[in-house]
Amino acid sequence: MERSIWIGLGIGVLLVAGGAYYLNQQKQLQQAALPAPLAAPAVSSAPPPDHYPLAEPQAVSSETPLPGLNDSDGPFRDALAKALGLGPVSQFLLPNNLIRRIVATVDALDGPSVPAKVRPLTPIGGAFLVDGSGDGSVISSANAARYRPLVNAVANVDAAAATGVYIRFYPLFQQAYEELGYPGRYFNDRVIHVIDHLRAAPSPDAPVRVVQPEVLYLFADPALEARSGGQKVLARIGTENAEVIKNKLGEIRAAIVSRTARKG
């Protein structure tokens, strides 16, 4: 399985939800410095299927101009803390390169994995819990408790307030997305696509069987193991936790779409 994936996307859940879910059968990776910009990925020439242009944000005072992307961590964290509460922001978010980390993670969630260096969240403590052994190994029902504090924080996110922060800082999200290797592409389209991808993840039958061919556990079901990194995280955090995440993603999606010119 992947060592870490961030489930939540962008603001609110996009920022707080989530998961830097660690399988502590391995040593933790060192937090790597994030270059600015990241190395550009391969870019498809196909246009996105849907376009969700954000409406212009309300004018802000000249005393509070939008910072540059390289100087955005402090103002962005302050805005998140005001909208979502200081507790979850301090507890779960890493202090540096947040917008770039979020953009890179969102972009990777429907792929096979999220690189360790772009994780925006602090590690989840405790060991990955498995019942049984060998071919009879299953993810323990007690494993879900490891993720409960983060999931509870997600459940308490105010979707409207979180979306307000996202729209306020959207030009920096767009800049980071273009730096990532997508000139002319619109980041909010990507956000909606990834939210829809995660919400479409089917719930696996419990208990979920796993195998351990080497150090890391893998899903025994080849179809489940072949899912994206984001959908596999939803499969291993427990059905109830996954439903909380998917429901909140639905609220975030609705709040974002309500602020677009597309309105649908």
Q: Is the dihedral of CA 189, 192, 198, 200 positive or negative?
A: negative
What's the mean pLDDT in 152-170? 93
What pLDDT, on a 0 to 100 scale, did the predictor assign at position 224?
95
Checking if the pLDDT of 196 tops 90, the result is: yes
pLDDT tier, 38 (very low <50, low <70, confident <90, very high otherwise) = very low
Q: In the prediction, which pLDDT does 121 show?
A: 74
Q: Convert 55-88 to b/e letters by CB count within 10 Å (16 or more is b).
A: eeeeeeeeeeeeeebeebbebbbebbbebbbeeb
pLDDT reading at 28 higher than 80: no
Instruction: Specify the pLDDT at position 62.
Output: 45
* Span 154-178, average pLDDT: 94
Q: Of 230, 118, 134, which is closest to residue 180 (Cα–Cα)?
A: 118
User: What's residue 106's pLDDT?
Assistant: 94
Query: What is the rounded distance in angstroms from the CA atom of residue 97 to the CA atom of residue 49?
Result: 29
- Confidence band (pLDDT; 50, 70, 90) for 58? low
**Predicted confidence (pLDDT) at residue 26 exceeds the cutoff of 80:** no
pLDDT of 71 over the 50 cut: yes
| Confidence band of 255 (pLDDT split at 50, 70, 90) | very high
Between 3-12, 34-43, 230-239, the lowest mean confidence (pLDDT) is in 3-12
Alpha-carbon gap, residue 34 to 169, rounded angstroms: 20
Q: Where are the alpha helices (DSSP H) in 37-158?
A: 73-84, 86-92, 98-108, 148-155
What pLDDT score does 193 carry? 95
Give just the sign of the alpha carbon dihedral 102, 19, 14, 227: positive
Is 80 exceeded by the pLDDT of residue 211? yes
* pLDDT band at residue 93 using 50, 70 and 90 as cut-offs: confident
Confidence band (pLDDT; 50, 70, 90) for 18?
Answer: very low
Confidence of residue 183 (pLDDT cuts 50, 70, 90): very high
CA dist 259 and 52 (Å) reads 9
Q: Is the four-CA dihedral 37, 24, 121, 254 of positive or negative sign?
A: positive
Summary mean pLDDT of the chain: 80
Q: What are phi and psi of 88, to 5 degrees?
A: -65, -35
Give the integer Cα–Cα distance in Å for 151 and 21: 12
Arithmetic mean of pLDDT, 139-159? 91
- Sequence-ordered list of residues with C-beta below 8 angstroms from that of 1, at least 6 positions apart, any chain: 23, 210, 216, 217, 218, 219, 232, 236
Q: Which of 7-11, 28-32, 82-86, 228-232 has the lowest mean pLDDT?
A: 28-32
pLDDT above 90 covers a percentage of the chain that reads 54
Residue with tokens 């071919």: 135
Q: Which of 38, 24, 230, 194 is nearest to 117 (CA)?
A: 38
